Chains A and B, each alone.
Chain A
Amino acid sequence: SQTIHQWPATLVQPVGSPLSLECTVEGTSNPNLYWYRQAAGRGLQLLFYSVGIGQISSEVPQNLSASRPQDRQFILSSKKLLLSDSGFYLCAWGASLNVADTQYFGPGTRLTVL
């Protein structure tokens, strides 16, 4: 069966510090991978998605970046965090772009920027 992992589970960082969140998927190959952010009072927002190694598409301009160094690894980074980067970050994977397929979400990382 497929599983998706995210770490760390929680993170408290000062403004201006760097960020690295990691997501890995097991039990499948060549998944589509997604990073979402859920900020207080706002809906879940798609940040990045990837359909293959080294292929990253950005949905929202921001000071965050994403990378996919391996088939089942997706990393979210920032060089300097802002207060507005606080939120709940969710990684998801999908088997294909078939409209009958859903996305499967990881447990999330709670990021607080102080």
Chain B
Amino acid sequence: KQEVTQIPAALSVPEGENLVLNCSFTDSAIYNLQWFRQDPGKGLTSLLLIQSSQREQTSGRLNASLDKSSGRSTLYIAASQPGDSATYLCATLSGYSTLTFGKGTMLLVSP
């Protein structure tokens, strides 16, 4: 059974810092890995999707990498802004379209 772990559970940084969120998974037989953002009391918004054959994906100030063999992914956020404050969730796709989520990293970027 796939298990997804995210470290740290919470992170507080001043505006402008570059930061890295970590995600690890136990079963490397995945189809893809995704990063989502969740604002308090809201649904999830997909940020980046990395297929198993890919190493990284970039969108604006976000860059996600995938090392399937070691079961790790990182989400890099450049020049953080207060608007980046949210919970970031990592999820792997395996089986019959089954997404397995980590518990998330709660990010607070202070002005």
Contacts and interface: CB of A to CB of B under 8 A. Distances in A.
Interface string B75-107: 000000000000001010100111111111000
A44 B52 contact: no
Contact of B4 (A43, A94, A102): A43
Contact of A99 (B41, B44, B51, B89): B51
Contacts, number: 56
B111 interface: no
B32 interface: yes
Nearest to B48: A102
Contact of B101 (A43, A97, A100): A43
A90 B44 contact: yes
Given A32-B97, A43-B102, A108-B41, A99 B46 contact: no
Q: Which of B97, B103, B104 has most chain A Cβ within 10 Å? A: B97
Given A42-B103, A43-B4, A110-B41, A102 B34 contact: yes
Contacts of B99: 34, 44, 46, 103
Interface string A52-78: 000001010000000000000000000
Given A43-B102, A100-B51, A102-B49, A108 B43 contact: yes
Contact of A90 (B43, B93, B100): B43
Interface residues of A, number: 26
A107 B42 contact: yes
Looking at chain B's contact residues, is the secondary structure mostly helix, strand, loop, or mixed?
strand
A105 interface: yes
Interface residues of B, number: 26
Nearest to B31: A99
Looking at chain A's contact residues, is the secondary structure mostly helix, strand, loop, or mixed?
strand
Nearest to A59: B98
Interface of B: 4, 31-32, 34, 36, 41-46, 49, 51-52, 89, 91, 93, 96-104
